[in-house]
Amino acid sequence: MRLEASGIKVWLKRRAVLNGLDLAADRGQLTAVIGANGAGKTTLLRVLAGLLPAAAGEARLDGRALAAWPRPQLARTLAYLPQERTIHWALSARSVVALGRLPHRALGQGESAADRAAIARAITTMDIGHLAERPVSDMSGGEKARVLMARALAQEPQVLIADEPATGLDPAHQLALFRHFVTFATSGRTVLVALHDLSLAARFCHKIVLVHAGRALAAGPPEEVLTPPQLAAAYGIAAEYRTIDGLPVVLPFDVLP
Amino acid sequence: MSGRGGGTPWHLFALLAAAAGLAFALSLAIGPSGFGFKPAGDAGALIFWEIRLPRAVLGTLVGATLGLSGAALQGYLRNPLAEPSLIGVSGGAALGAVLAIHLGLSQVLPLALPVGGLLGAAAALIAVAALAGLRGGPITLILAGLAVSATTTAAISLALNLSPNPFAAIEMVYWMMGSLADRSLTQVWLGAPLMLAGIGVLLLLGRALDALSLGEDAAVSLGIDAKRTRLALIAGIALSVGAATAITGVIGFVGLLVPHALRPWLGHRPGLLLPASLLGGAILVTAADIALRLLEPWADVRIGVFTALFGAPFFLWLVLKTRSELAP
């Protein structure tokens, strides 16, 4: 399913956070939203997840305005992983992952075989089998992040939106997560992530949208977006786009005056 | 810990249900006129139907209401220190009943106390709902409840201060302590439908509370309607706790203690905690009421005082535990 935004404007506390932003994330692709702190990434993702209405412009999923999607149907189609990683009770990891099946279960209905299979797959994918019965309150930040990611995967969505899913993960789990995103996307899903690691973006994402001051400063394949002039404009940094053994790497090496 | 896995701990629910049933039966069977379902003497049948039955039914219903409301409010606010009286409805009910005494209505009409309580609860509900609104997070609801509670407390003090005679003041104070004794079947009929309606509404919140464990954004993205959840929570607590308080007065700490004690046995899942706390509350209040009847020197102690007496040290322990968990 294609997820698109056109001319999105959002005001929060009388400040224009998004100011006419356009974006398209396509089926079969991993799309990254990058940008400096406060550029409007989270706000954009919340609009695209149908959590925040836009003051102007329209967000569409599969050609239909997000606002026109009935919420239960949207919950079965689109999963959203917030940046906020609070889990309020000492739930077991498995209980948290099982929450991803809520949209697929009718009121009062227990877990079906399909639910259990989806939960087991998500737990395996995120490598948290050994944590499944442990309370999340005892876990490290990175372990919690993987449990929450597994929750979104258990939802088995057509569209996955994740806000900084790699933050707090060790390098091995970051690489594994992005490999999984690519597999998930190329199996016919739409994946949209916000992130700060430019090398991860360069290496794994099919498309990058660089957000600056509430607008899309650039959008396209990594080598076209992650150019020194654009990184200077968006982040105020001097950075280089290189390849090491054919793999792209972005090296920020100085803050511009 | 039991119940950590995916399934429902049916054995725990069976145990709680059996205990609640047993407590109800014991409440019917125990009293000064002898043990059994047929109290001795000419007035035996009357004692059973007019004194023991309303008391047993009220103990079970009020306990269920308080336990369930506590679990629902803690789940919604994502705070284990929340208690149903927090949203101000029990304060409103108390004020309504106190006004009924103050104005002398309770001398004229036998149902003036519960009806006054219900009106007070309804007024408090409207005030809280208007102040807190349907949007906004837990904090606005807590603040709205605090504002309404502060207002009702002030008004109750004023009514006491200006009470027409000392007897009225004593009646007000006694009423506020909370008691299951000497309530007629008519009062039960007045309150039971409202309590049951509120209980029904709250029991439907399980999914929403489970999803809210991940925060409001994640819950909404899982298909939960945030506005409807908030409305159902406020209305459910207002109906059930408002009606319960209007009939029995304030019985504190049950709504705090029961969910907290049961939570670890249910893997901390807020949805499953709802029916469990309903049963746990019914057990606790009925058992406390039986204990008061059996312990001779306690016979004159009101159940609200009794629960507060045991609830306060528990709250103290909870604070100390929270402190040690938060300490570095």
Question: Dihedral angle at the C-alpha atoms of A145, A150, A152, A157, nearest 10 degrees?
Answer: 150
pLDDT given at position B2: 38
Nearest neighbour of B267 by CB, restricted to A49, A84, A92:
A92
**How many angstroms separate the CA of residue A18 from the nearest CA in chain B?**
19
Q: Is A160 on the interface with B (CB under 8 A)?
A: no
**Residue B51: DSSP 8-state:** I
| Banded model confidence at residue B262, pLDDT cuts 50, 70, 90 | very high
Q: Is the four-CA dihedral B60, B66, B67, B68 of positive or negative sign?
A: positive
Measured distance CA(B10)–CA(B8) in Å, rounded: 6
Q: Is the four-CA dihedral B148, B150, B155, B160 of positive or negative sign?
A: positive
**How many angstroms separate the CA of residue A72 from the nearest CA in chain B?**
5
pLDDT at B5 over 60: no
Across the interface, whether the CB atoms of A50 and B221 are under 8 A apart is answered yes
Count CA atoms closer than 13 A to A113's CA, side-chain side.
0
Chain A residues with CB under 8 Å of B8 CB are 110
Q: State mean pLDDT over B18-42.
A: 85
ipTM of the prediction: 0.93
Q: Is B215 on the interface with A (CB under 8 A)?
A: yes
Measured distance CA(B215)–CA(B260) in Å, rounded: 20
Q: Which domains does chain A have, with CATH numbers?
A: 3-255 (3.40.50.300)
The top-scoring range by mean pLDDT among B105-114, B125-134, B261-270, B300-309 is B261-270
pLDDT given at position B50: 84
Q: Is B130 on the interface with A (CB under 8 A)?
A: no
CB B117 within 8 A of CB B96: yes
Q: State mean pLDDT over B130-144.
A: 86
| Banded model confidence at residue B324, pLDDT cuts 50, 70, 90 | confident
pLDDT given at position B205: 96
Chain A residues with CB under 8 Å of B78 CB are 88-89
CB B37 within 8 A of CB B26: no
Q: Which domains does chain B have, with CATH numbers?
A: 10-326 (1.10.3470.10)
Q: State mean pLDDT over B111-120.
A: 90
Across the interface, whether the CB atoms of B211 and A102 are under 8 A apart is answered yes
Nearest to B75 by CA among B218, B202, B242: B202
pLDDT given at position B327: 63
Which B-chain residues 240-279 have CB contacts (< 8 A) with chain A?
A: 263, 267-270
Q: State mean pLDDT over B114-136.
A: 89
Nearest to B242 by CA among B201, B316, B191, B279: B191
Q: Is A95 on the interface with B (CB under 8 A)?
A: yes
pLDDT given at position B326: 66
Q: Report chain B's mean pLDDT, rounded to a whole number.
A: 88
CB B276 within 8 A of CB B75: no
Q: Is B297 on the interface with A (CB under 8 A)?
A: no
Which residue of B77, B201, B222 to mutate against A (max A Cβ within 10 Å)? Answer: B222
| SS3 of residue A55 by DSSP | coil
Element at A169 (helix H, strand E): none
Instruction: Tell me phi and psi for residue B54, to 5 degrees.
Output: -60, -35
Chain A residues with CB under 8 Å of B277 CB are none
pLDDT at B194 over 80: yes
Low-confidence winner among B164-168, B199-203, B256-260, B296-300 (lowest mean pLDDT): B296-300
| Banded model confidence at residue B3, pLDDT cuts 50, 70, 90 | very low
Measured distance CA(B180)–CA(B310) in Å, rounded: 18
**How many angstroms separate the CA of residue A133 from the nearest CA in chain B?**
7
Q: Which residues pair with A19 in a beta bridge?
A: A9
| Banded model confidence at residue B6, pLDDT cuts 50, 70, 90 | low
Nearest neighbour of B223 by CB, restricted to A75, A89, A94:
A75
pLDDT at B22 over 90: yes
Q: Is B221 on the interface with A (CB under 8 A)?
A: yes
Nearest neighbour of B207 by CB, restricted to A100, A107, A148:
A107
The interaxial angle of helices B185-203 and B112-132, nearest 10 deg, is: 20
Q: State mean pLDDT over B38-42.
A: 73
Chain B residues with CB under 8 Å of A46 CB are 217
Name the residue of chain A whose CA is nearest to B222's CA: A75
pLDDT at B294 over 90: no
Chain B residues with CB under 8 Å of A163 CB are none
Nearest neighbour of A87 by CB, restricted to B8, B213, B224:
B213
Q: Is B203 on the interface with A (CB under 8 A)?
A: no
pTM: predicted TM-score of the whole model, two decimal places? 0.91
Task: Give every residue of chain A whose pLDDT is below 50, as ranges.
Answer: none
CB A250 within 8 A of CB A199: yes
Instruction: Tell me phi and psi for residue B228, to 5 degrees.
Output: -65, -40
**Residue B36: DSSP 8-state:** S
Nearest neighbour of B269 by CB, restricted to A71, A81, A91:
A91
| Banded model confidence at residue B298, pLDDT cuts 50, 70, 90 | low
Name the residue of chain B whose CA is nearest to A74's CA: B223
Across the interface, whether the CB atoms of B218 and A81 are under 8 A apart is answered yes
Q: State mean pLDDT over B61-84.
A: 94
Across the interface, whether the CB atoms of B214 and A87 are under 8 A apart is answered yes
CB B60 within 8 A of CB B24: yes
In chain B, pLDDT over 70 holds for what percent of residues?
Answer: 96
| Banded model confidence at residue B302, pLDDT cuts 50, 70, 90 | confident
Q: Is A83 on the interface with B (CB under 8 A)?
A: no
pLDDT given at position B244: 93
